[in-house]
A and B are shown apart, each in its own frame.
Chain A
Amino acid sequence: MSALRERLRISNLPKPARYSLGALGLVFLFLLPNKWFYEYLGIPLGFAYIPLYTTKNDMASVLFICTWIILLSLGLNVVVGYAGLLDLGFFGFFAVGAYVVALLTSPESKLLTEYNWLESPWPWLVAVPIGIALSLLAGVLLGWPTLRLRGDYLAIVTLGFAEMIRIVAKQQDWILNGDRGIPEVGHPPGSVGGEPLFSFDAKPYYWLALCVIILAVFLIRNLVRSRVGRAWVAIREDEDAAELMGVPTFRFKLWAFAIGAAVGGLSGTLWAGQANFVNSTTFSLENSILVLSAVLLGGAGNIAGAILGGFLVIYIPEWLRSVGDVFGLPETVTVGGSTYDISPTSLRFAIFGIVLIVVMIFRPQGLWPNRRRAAEIQHRKKEVAVGE
């Protein structure tokens, strides 16, 4: 059984088979947001037909959310999965990326209207690299003083950092304009038949994000396989030993932090383009926690795992909303004169919470872990004290 599984592993298939599988997967992903395509995806279950697509929200929008969350997971995976640094405020970098794009590209930006720092709004494409660069800078600025802290202390500091960004963003009279936010954020360039390609439809953004993900995966994969990646693993497994072996641990941790931050910022720049409107409410701590659970659910330290996790944390709750529709489940129940909302829409995060617990109990290594890590965890399992 396991021998068969071993032979069927994608990495063990012959090269042509692997490439055609990959190409097929990509075609599938690019077709996915089209209604005429996804309509056929579903599970017939006796009398009912359970769609795999989402019915409460436009499928393309859901897919776009998936992609930018996946980008965030990929970035956080570098920090948590490879370097083993617990970052609870990763969404802060997303915020930096999003706000930079909004400030530079929106005609309503206070940089234009009040401070006259800009003559006219910049194009989105010019703002993106600046957003990434500033996110990276934010990563270095946060990492420089804090990366000497260990484990849980680092966790609380990063959490505080994300919360601080949110509080700054919330100030009404500041440059970021608080809850009123910044509207009319610029879109990416390009047009089809005179119509701009990127406007409010999520589909082109999804395609763009997909391309960005592919690029990010290649970059991160090469990085992980380089000397840098080996240093990260050494730090994760035993920081003191790595230090003794002459690995400049602080510098490599800072690297991980900065690279993760840059990818997180990139995600923010994409999101800002589509959302068209950036305000402080997007950057709640819950989102940081959501991304972290994505990485660990998928399998920390594995790129494929981070992608799977990022997809599932968005898709499962969304999909649960559709399932309620199919079965015609009651949305409310009345007990003793009080009416309670029991719709899957309302309970979807509770269900998602249960999924998280169950997966961690039965697969603490995550759904799609790094092989080396999975082996470590399998061995840990055998070392439980007697009767525990």
Chain B
Amino acid sequence: MNIGELLRSFPELTVTGVTQGAIYALVALGYTLVYGVLRLINFAHSEVFMVGTFAALFTWGLFGLDSNTERPSIGVALLAILAAIVVAAVTSAAVALLIEVTAYRPLRHRNAPPLAFLITAIGASFVLMEVAGSLTVRRPFGVPALLPSKPLFDIGGWAVTPTQVTTVVVAIAMLVGLDYFVQKTRAGRGIRAVAQDPNTAALMGVNKSRVIALVFILGGLMAGVAAVFNDIKTGSTKFNVGFLLGLKAFSAAVLGGIGNLRGAALGGLLLGLIENYASALFGSNWRDFVAFVALIALLMFRPTGLLGESLGRARA
């Protein structure tokens, strides 16, 4: 245990933890949305994210930016990031929808048991990951330098880089936007209705298939945005980038209470922080270990996560 290291780097660890947490939270939303409506762990969601990382890279290629080019001006960089967000979000949403239509919908039409869904999820995940692996020759791809690495400000060790600010600001905007959509709009009410009681929702005239498609699209959009910032943060991407990140994001969703949107945000944030503090305390090798210990310990005491399963069948 290295408590000195934790105290020394506390501000830095917190800032990177929040940034990492923002990315987890965005991906976790995809798991939680689908779970809330279908009671299904969408294992293929990690690949939705993975496709997003490559879509972003492709967009930057169109700007003439690659891992060898000079850092562009701030204006161009922000424009490139914005474009990548749009392209990656749309691509990821399209992939998510494709998974729903090809791997899940046919099973729903046959009223297949829940475990069958799990297997098609695994199958879809294999297909996407392996096709991406073949297309990219399984090698890592570098991400162009976009934003300056010099901190925007540094107040008593609390230094924050432009990348970190952008990540957190965009993530918060997405979270607030999604929350508003689900809580306040008609389509959002439809989602909540199906999550709480699918049969009664149909009696109200809600088209369940459309709601499910919408949920996959929303989750895909969030994962696409997360993919862009993960690219920028880690500086590279690879065909299997989704695996561990997806696992972590899923853990984050469970931590907060799967099926609960605000829970996913909270879980992501917590997981990001725990990981960073843990790597200072026990060394970076033990980062993931501590993350899982924390998850399991929490579930022992709060078996449905921190905030419970509120989007889903509320247990009144």
Contacts and interface: CB of A to CB of B under 8 A. Distances in A.
14 contacts: A86-B115, A146-B299, A148-B303, A149-B303, A152-B254, A156-B299, A163-B247, A167-B288, A289-B122, A296-B115, A340-B137, A349-B130, A357-B124, A360-B116
Contacts of A148: 303
Contacts of A159: 247
Interface string A361-380: 10011000000000011001
Contacts of A55: none
Contacts of A126: none
Given A346-B134, A350-B130, A360 B112 contact: yes
Interface of B: 35, 39, 41, 102-103, 106-113, 115-120, 122-127, 129-131, 133-135, 137, 199, 202, 208-209, 243, 247, 250-251, 254, 258, 285-286, 288-289, 292-293, 295-296, 299-300, 303-304
A145 interface: yes
Q: Please classify the interface of chain A as helix (H, G, I), strand (E, B), loop, or mixed, using the class held by over half of its residues.
A: helix
Contact of B126 (A157, A356, A377): A356
Q: Max chain B CB contacts within 10 Å: which of A148, A152, A286?
A: A152
Contacts of B112: 360-361, 364, 377, 380
A360 B109 CA distance: 12
Contact of B109 (A167, A297, A384): A384
A353 B209 contact: no
Given A364-B107, A384-B109, A353 B292 contact: no
A360 B123 contact: yes
Interface string A171-189: 1000000000000000000
A215 to B, nearest CB: 28
A353 B110 contact: no
> Secondary structure of the B side of the interface?
helix
B126 A168 contact: no
Interface string A114-152: 000000000000000000000000000000011011101
A279 to B, nearest CB: 15
A341 interface: yes
B250 A300 contact: no
Contacts of B289: 164, 167-168
B197 to A, nearest CB: 13
B103 A357 contact: yes
A160 B296 contact: yes
A383 B111 contact: yes
A357 B134 contact: no
Contacts of B41: 152, 155
The 9 closest A-B pairs by CB, nearest first: A353-B126, A356-B123, A364-B112, A160-B292, A350-B130, A353-B127, A364-B116, A357-B123, A353-B123
